[in-house]
Chain A
């Protein structure tokens, strides 16, 4: 519980932390964060996806998430999430237009897209979280959530430009839900369940460097020709032959807010898939640069405080007058310098 003593101690400790930390960090405007060397992520190629949603149920199972009943659900048996939520970390959504007869076609066609955490290189959620409940692994680059630390302020929810962290508003003991790239399975030597289960290689797991090479390779091929696609994880043994698709120019996640570790390829424009363009510079970088500039080693605040203290002390010096000791209603020592 929050007692006054704890509070005092805490403020002392916290103030110490504020004073000390900038000293060991880059104090001025900070540069862009770089992709960690061993960064892992996902490549989602919408042109390969068949919308089977096997990745969604695998995700539920791997992360022990409850089924979600929505308007789509038949009876009370189906898990039918319409979007990611406090109960759902990964959703495949469909775009459809007109007759919706042709795959990956903007007119009279349809296309699939995946919604889940992008594992940003410079994540807004990590920068926002006041209590280090959101952290980015320095090696794998996976963005983790630690429920033990979380105070439930939802600053991360508001900050994430992909609208990814979700909150369980319906719980008295709530928490944040977001994809953590099946970190617990990686620790067991496995990898992300959605990629492992995907029958078409549409969701592919692997080191981000290799995923980027694979994107380059797919883009360099002539649409319509045949090629080999890896399935499950990159560098694995499973693969299959398939036709080369036609891609739109943009790779979603390549530059968005400083780049992400989950990358999307698509046959239709990303705007149609509810993935609007985002600036290249991470908002976290702008925000932190400004904060660091203002609070550079706390020099400015301490200087300001010193000035204030000197002025206040001069103006508030008690007047040398005998204090009326023992009176029930003593006149206050007027901190008044009198009219100047």
Chain B
């Protein structure tokens, strides 16, 4: 057993250990409930399990599972960008877990789209030039997300190949990895900003507090922040759960970038509102305005918390990350559902069935992550400090 390089990082290795615990059992149960709801959905139609209507044709399956889910999955491309494009090799240990989270996030988003679209068996139309409608923002988003999911598979492939000792293919993949990584940065930049642009065509149906031509930039900046926050939260939780030391320095530095992006988001947002003469509407008492201020607080808190050297303490950056992720989530849910109003008389709150599917998908994602880190080389090998890898 030799390590090929004299890297100072421990190589990733499967964790091993038991897969079935009470916790994973509960996760599996949630997945089974989801499957039951989905069976009803496919037999009796979308209306049978959702509260969707022609006033709210999109619910949490889109606003949460796709829009929020994929934004949290931005962890993959942001970390890949920092590690490989900005050449910060010290981030290596967190690349694989970040890619894996991204992969599951995107697969979950794709699955959710499949449950949500009414005529799912025609989904392939998206990929056929004959049907392509290039002016549609959704067309770009759908194509881009599909392509990126594929790229994520390929980016993660080395871990799988390594596990099964497929050296040759592994080397081939490695040779084009730089291209995969580059495409894997370009595509999310495109579709994450487009997830914001998607609201533009809704025009006056989206509240003027949220409807702006800056939507793509607001979505992109908050996505990157959310992605970094997701890596930080996940990294901390994984370390705690596995009783490993937290990658404190790395995560703290990541959250510095997150802090910068949160600040950029706030500046752009308020600047835009001022430019459009909307600041006065921020002091009208109505639910959307309250939510706006909660979002603002969630974005502002990390900026403040991470100021100064105290920002490097794990409890600080963990808290800041959690708040930033929550801010990004709320912003998306608000923009897609709360700020959307197609006229009087329509209301929407997710049904139990919709919640069961969303929760089931999240459970599936966590379950898959747990299984993956136990059987695949994802996390850096962690022999106790005193016992370094025999070289």
Number of CB contacts from chain A to chain B under 8 A: 288
Residues of chain B lying within 8 A (CB to CB) of residue A331: 2-5, 11
B4 contact from A305, A309, A332, Cβ within 8 A: A332
With A331-B5, A338-B89 in contact, do A174 and B46 touch (Cβ < 8 Å)?
A: yes
In the bound assembly, the distance between CA atoms of A168 and B44 in angstroms comes to 11
Interface stretch, picked from B22-30, B195-203, B227-235, B267-275, is B195-203
Is B171 an interface position by the 8 A CB rule? yes
Check if A57 is an interface residue, CB within 8 A of chain B: no
Residue A185 at the chain B interface, CB threshold 8 Å: no
User: How many residues belonging to A are interface residues under a CB distance threshold of 8 Å?
Assistant: 95
Within the complex, the shortest CB–CB distance from B57 to chain A, in Å, comes to 4
In contact, A319 and B118 (Cβ under 8 angstroms) = no
Produce 1/0 per residue, B88-131, CB < 8 A to A.
Answer: 11101000000000000000000001001111101111111101
A121 interface residue (CB < 8 Å to B) = no
Q: Pick the interface stretch among B258-266, B339-347, B362-370.
A: B339-347
Give the residue of B131, B158, B205 whose beta carbon is less than 8 angstroms from that of A161.
B205
Q: With contacts A22-B134, A309-B178 known, is A163 near B85, CB below 8 A?
A: no
State the CA gap A290–B9 with chains docked (Å): 44
By beta carbon, the residue of chain B nearest A302 is: B186
Min CB distance B270 to A, Å, is: 21
Complex interface: chain A residues within 8 A of B9 (CB): 336
Q: Is A131 an interface residue (CB 8 A)?
A: yes
Question: What sequence of 0s and 1s flags, for each residue 31-54 of chain B, a beta carbon within 8 Å of any chain A beta carbon?
Answer: 000000000001111111010111
Scoring A279, A284, A311 by chain B CB atoms within 10 A of each residue's CB, the highest score goes to: A311
The stretch that binds A, out of B140-148, B286-294, B353-361, is B140-148
Chain B residues in 8 Å Cβ range of A149: 122, 125, 131
Docked complex Cα distance between A82 and B340 (Å): 23
Interface residues of B in 307-346 (CB under 8 A from A): 340, 342-344
Is B285 engaged at the interface, CB distance under 8 Å to the other chain? Answer: no
- B238 interfacial by beta-carbon distance below 8 Å: no
Q: Please provide the chain B residues from 133 to 181 with a CB less than 8 Å away from any CB of chain A in the complex.
A: 133-140, 142-143, 146-147, 150, 158, 162, 165, 167, 170-171, 174-175, 177-179, 181
**Bound-complex Cα distance A325 to B116 (A):** 48
- Interface size of B as a range: 35 or more
- From A131, A283, A332, contact of B131 by CB (8 A): A131
Report whether B118 and A2 are in contact in the complex, using a CB–CB cutoff of 8 Å: no
From A165, which residue of chain B is reached at the shortest CB distance?
Answer: B54
Residue B55 CB within 8 A of the other chain: yes
Q: A16-B129, A305-B182 are in contact. Are A6 and B170 (CB under 8 A)?
A: no
Partner of A334, one of B5, B129, B138, B194: B5
A172 adjacent to B133 (CB under 8 Å): no
| CB nearest to A4 among chain B residues | B150
Residues of A contacting B147 with CB < 8 Å? Answer: 11, 15
CB pair A151 B122 closer than 8 Å: yes
| Residue of chain B at shortest CB distance from A304 | B186
Separation of A226 and B333 alpha carbons in the complex (Å): 56
CB of B131 within 8 A of CB of A132, answer yes
Considering only CB atoms, which chain B residue lies closest to A156 in the complex?
Answer: B57
- Contact between chains at B170 and A167 (CB < 8 Å): no
Q: Is the CB of B178 within 8 A of A312?
A: yes
Contact flags A149-179 to B (C-beta < 8 A → 1, else 0): 1111111011101010111111111110000
Question: Is the CB–CB distance between A313 and B178 below 8 Å?
Answer: yes
Question: Contact between B4 and A14 (Cβ–Cβ < 8 Å)?
Answer: no
Q: Report Cα–Cα, A282/B116, bound state, in Å.
A: 28
Contact B182 A13 (CB under 8 A): no
Decide yes or no: A312 and B57 within 8 Å by CB, A151-B120, A326-B167, A333-B4 being known contacts. no
A335 pairs with B84, CB closer than 8 A: yes
Q: Does A101 contact B (CB under 8 A)?
A: no
Q: Is the CB of A170 within 8 A of B47?
A: yes
Could you say which of A10, A18, A166, A305 contacts B140, with CB atoms under 8 Å apart? A18
- Which residues of chain A are near B200, meaning CB under 8 Å? 283, 286-287, 290
15 new A-B contacts at CB < 8 Å, known A128-B201, A129-B136, A175-B119 = A17-B129, A18-B132, A18-B143, A130-B133, A131-B132, A152-B122, A154-B118, A167-B118, A294-B216, A332-B4, A333-B171, A334-B92, A335-B177, A336-B5, A337-B87
- Which A residues are within 8 Å of any B CB, using their own CB? 2, 6-11, 13-18, 21-22, 25, 85, 124, 127-133, 149-155, 157-159, 161, 163, 165-175, 257, 274, 276, 278-279, 282-284, 286-288, 290-291, 294-295, 301, 304-305, 308-309, 311-316, 318-319, 321, 323-340
3 shortest interchain CB distances as A-B pairs? A152-B118, A10-B127, A331-B4
> Can you offer 11 A-B residue contacts whose CB atoms are under 8 A?
A7-B146, A7-B150, A130-B138, A131-B126, A284-B201, A287-B201, A291-B197, A316-B181, A324-B2, A330-B170, A334-B7
